[in-house]
Amino acid sequence: MDTFDYINDPLTAEQVATLRTLLGDDWTDKARDGFLVISGRFVDEIGNDRTDELRPLFLTKTAAGRKALRDSLETLFNFVGSLNQFEADYPIFINDPVHGSLGSFPQLPIIGIHTLHSALYRLFDSKALVYGNPVQELVRDFIIRTGKLPFVPPPSGLVLRQKPRMYWCSFERYESPSASRSALQILEKWKSDCRMRATLPTANLEGKVFVAYSGVSEYPPYLMSVSGAGHAFAGYNVELKAADHPDLPGGGLQVGVVGEPSVSLLEEWRDEEASWVTIWTAETANRPRQPVG
């Protein structure tokens, strides 16, 4: 069977039918083929198809949402050139005795993010330090000083050989850190108190927001790794709705953000007030100082 057979493969055919429903009159063959590049990532490790999660992510009930989904899929397809070229350029090996493990990580940009949502929200630990900064500056202090999140390099292209580092952000503001942790499945072992929340306006995020993925680097206990590496490629699935960790309810929509996103509002959770408290705003920081006297 051809790798991209969406007619004779029942699961892929169902996925394409779902996509056609989501796109409606915005359907194009190019958008379909862009989806086929990543369709396998919409099937989780137990065989569930998550294609329909594109509906709330792209707000496909709206004309702007359907256009954004079409443009995003076509952008990915334009990058790979053709399905055959994608397969030739990015062969995948999982625990192969000769090649070891080598993954393919197609990135789906969300084109027109500002037409879908006015802001995204980044939760982080109140004691988090800027990654790679020898000064050991707190992220909260960096935001207050610069008005931005610390820089995360954008991906070098739309198909990568390893999982990229991104800011995982949500579309919703949750009522408390515990509610945030529950909806976004932020595990205790990640050691984030989720007490800081930055609001990121989407007006300046074009080309910097991507569909979120979860990477699997651990093989099941019955399978011995032959790749000879501490972190091997074992799987790669979309993570549009947090759902990978059954011990937490999940269901929160999330995306990946790169670059140095501007922050408009910084909030901190205060137990004594049982609420989020604003500690910095871009509007106040950029307001000209009034002369004294």
pLDDT at residue 1, as a whole number: 41
Query: How far is residue 167's CA from residue 154's CA, in Å, rounded to a whole number?
Result: 11
Q: Are strands 254-257 and 167-170 parallel, antiparallel or unpaired?
A: antiparallel
**How far apart are alpha carbons 56 and 179 in whole angstroms?**
20
pLDDT at 230: 47
How many whole angstroms separate alpha carbon 119 and alpha carbon 184?
17
CA distance 215 to 105: 9
Residues 207, 208, 211, 215, CA torsion sign = positive
Q: List strand residue ranges (DSSP E) for 103-152, in order.
A: 105-106, 119-124
**pLDDT mean values, one per 10 residues, the chain (293 residues):** 65 95 97 95 83 96 98 98 95 80 89 97 96 90 97 95 90 95 88 96 96 71 56 70 82 95 98 96 77 53
Q: For residue 256, which of 243, 238, 274, 268 has the smallest C-alpha distance?
A: 238
Confidence at residue 218, expressed as pLDDT on a 0 to 100 scale? 61
Q: What is the pLDDT of residue 94?
A: 74
Query: What pLDDT is stored for residue 132 in this prediction?
Result: 84
Q: Give the relative orientation of helices 29-38 and 63-80 as an angle to the nearest 10 degrees.
A: 70
pTM attached to this predicted model? 0.89
Give kind and range of the element (H or E) at residue 275.
Answer: strand 275-281
> Quick one: pLDDT at residue 44?
76
pLDDT of residue 146: 97
